[in-house]
Amino acid sequence: MHGTWTWSKLMDSGGWSDETYRIPSRSLDGQDKTHRVTISGVYLLPVGRGRPFLPNANRIVDAAIGGWELGSLYIYETGTPWGAPQNYLHNAHVPRHTESTGYIRGVAACAQQWQWSPDPHDSNWGWNLNTLSYNYSGGCAQPDFSAVPEYGQYKNTVYSGIRIPSDEQFDANLSKNFAVVEGIKLQLRLEAFNALNHPLWQEGYSNNFQDTNFGTIEKGPWGQSNLPREVQIAVKLMW
């Protein structure tokens, strides 16, 4: 059995967040994954010649029940940072959850932006900070995102704390080993990738303030981010 754990942080630095106001850029890279865990192992079935069960089996019996082994690999990776809109000021977010309508929500659909009212006779004439209304069950007592007004400063990119769903993968294989002649072995393998057929949805939350699905991942139209279960047969010759 073998296991690893990687704890890391990937940063970007250089250039400008705002060239007009000369604000340097330093931010978390879009491919940053805080944690990566792998667990793998191989188990030799204790049956057949030289094994605890039927250790004295003849060659014919051993060819049928001996030399079997199970292998597996599990990989877990933290989701990458959400590519939030650049021209925003961020206050808070809601925990990720799946809605019954087929959406994964990672951001409260609660934003506000500056809008121009051209009628000088209107009491709201000029620029006004208005809340954008979306169909969101959590309500909108206070906007979580405020769009930077025109000619406003684009501040240094600050990590919002919001990540897309994590990545999980479980692979497994069943192998049968044959001793062809001395020093040469043949192995037949039945391999399954994404053996549990677990779908991942990682295309990223909608970051368009004007989109009614702002802050969600829609399950379905783009399909899952990983491949469905794949099974294959392989042959390996070892000498």
Tokens of 209: 């303030």
**Whole-angstrom Cα distance, residue 137 to residue 145?**
17
Q: For position 119, what pLDDT does the model report?
A: 73
- If you ran DSSP here, which 8-state letter would residue 47 be given? B
Phi, psi of 170 (to 5 degrees): -130, 120
* Domain ranges, ordered by start, for the chain: 2-238
pLDDT of the chain along its 239 residues, tens only? 999 999 999 999 888 888 888 888 888 898 999 999 999 999 999 988 777 877 878 877 877 888 899 999 999 999 998 877 766 777 666 667 787 778 888 887 777 777 777 777 777 676 676 766 565 666 677 777 777 777 777 777 666 778 899 999 999 999 998 878 888 989 999 999 999 999 999 888 888 777 778 888 988 877 889 999 999 999 999 88
Cα distances (angstroms) measured from residue 59 to each of 64, 184, 237? 9, 16, 20
For 77-129, what is the HEC assignment?
A: ECCCECCCCCCEEECCCCCCEECCCCEEECCCCCEEEEEEECCCCCCCCEEEE
Q: Give, as one character, the DSSP assignment of residue 15.
A: E
* The predicted structure's pLDDT at residue 133: 57
Tokens of residue 144, six digits: 């979580």
> Cβ distance 108 to 139 under 8 Å?
no
The predicted model scores a pTM of 0.78
What whole-number distance in Å separates Cα of residue 163 and Cα of residue 149?
Answer: 26
pLDDT at 90: 72
CA distance 129 to 152: 14
Rg (CA), the chain: 28
Backbone angles phi, psi at 59, to 5 degrees: -65, -35
Question: How would you classify the pairing of strands 111-117 and 145-147?
Answer: parallel
